[in-house]
Amino acid sequence: MGGSPAVTAVSTRTLEDSIRAQAFGLGFDLVGIATLGNMDTAPHFDRWLERGYAGEMHYLPKWAHKRRDSRLPYEGVRSAIVVAMDYGGREPSGPVARYARGDDYHDVLDARLRELHAWLRTELGRDVRGRAYVDTGPLLERDLARRAGLGWFGKNTNLIHPLLGSFFFLGALLVDLELAPDEPFASDHCGTCTRCIDACPTQAIVEPRVLDATKCISYLTIEAKGEIPAEFRETIHRSELIYGCDICQDVCPWNEKFARALPEESPFAPRAAIAGKDARTLAHELLAMSQEEFSEQFRGSPMKRAKLRGLKRNAAVVLGPVG
């Protein structure tokens, strides 16, 4: 009587599989691997700078040459482990953009990427040269994310994933390992849709996938240090936006369908100083707030980037009258 030969079970799990599993275990929602090298969008980025769209963000042109090649920011690295972490696109809109209501994502993602780096060292039994980046260096992370298969560039310039939308943070761990890369995300699923372009209240999306940051409400309420230009005050007043803007993401069909609610005990859950407050209530509280109160209530918050004086400026515009 014939029979099949005995099959011995062997593990076919690769290092790349283990990295993905570990990253998911650390709370990341997307994980991809990309080979480092020349960045596809570097010429576009250079033209964007030449057109003056960076405004007062002088750190962007300062290290522009390093953004052209992802091997340059940290010597000796060869691969990127690119991650994304959702911050709750199903949460209600409000005067503070969703990404800024809880703990600073730079700190959250950086700590978890460092944990992933430490795990890699232990797993391989040797030192692994590498560095974590979360908007903390001259790296075109969105470009790396597309190369790692995590999504396409939407017309609002955000990276969009077909099953997650765009309400997520990006980070990358650059390492000196030759890892097998994922397939780049090659297709574009925006089609003829222009909802984001049409909905932007300041017409900051000057053409598909080109954002003039100097017109963007997020830039005006966070990065701009002086007075908000008079031409935008009425719009910010009517929009009741104190810090950041989610409008171009809110109207995206991919977010309408796939955005998620925040999980329980998320580090991005709104802190008490913000939770449940409408624009006028929050604006009045900010205008009355002392520096000591601000430092206490917003410790570890990304909103500290605008400083209290910037938030008071924004609050005054939201409350009006507009001059």
What does the pLDDT look like over 293-317, one tens digit per residue? 999 999 999 999 999 999 999 999 9
Within 13 Å of residue 134, how many CA atoms lie on the same side as its CB?
A: 20
Q: How far apart are CA 105 and CA 90, in angstroms?
A: 18
Residue 278 annotated as catalytic: no
pLDDT given for residue 12 in this prediction: 64
> Is residue 258 within 8 Å of residue 164, measured between CB atoms?
yes
Return the closest-CA partner of residue 172 out of 286, 276, 310, 73: 73
pTM: 0.93
Catalytic residue among 135, 188, 198, 278: 135
Listed as ranges, residues in the chain with pLDDT below 70 are 1-12, 322-323
Which pLDDT score, from 0 to 100, does residue 8 have?
36
DSSP 304: G
pLDDT value of position 7: 37
What's the CA gap between 319 and 238, in Å, rounded? 9
Q: What is the pLDDT of residue 13?
A: 82
What is the predicted pLDDT for the residue at 267?
Answer: 97
**The pLDDT of residue 6:** 39
Angle at 14 between CA 13 and CA 19, to 5 degrees: 105
User: CB-based burial of residue 180 (10 Å sphere; 0-12 exposed, 13-18 middle, 19+ buried)?
Assistant: exposed
Cβ neighbour number for residue 107 with a 10 Å cutoff: 13
pLDDT score at 28 = 98
pLDDT at 220: 98
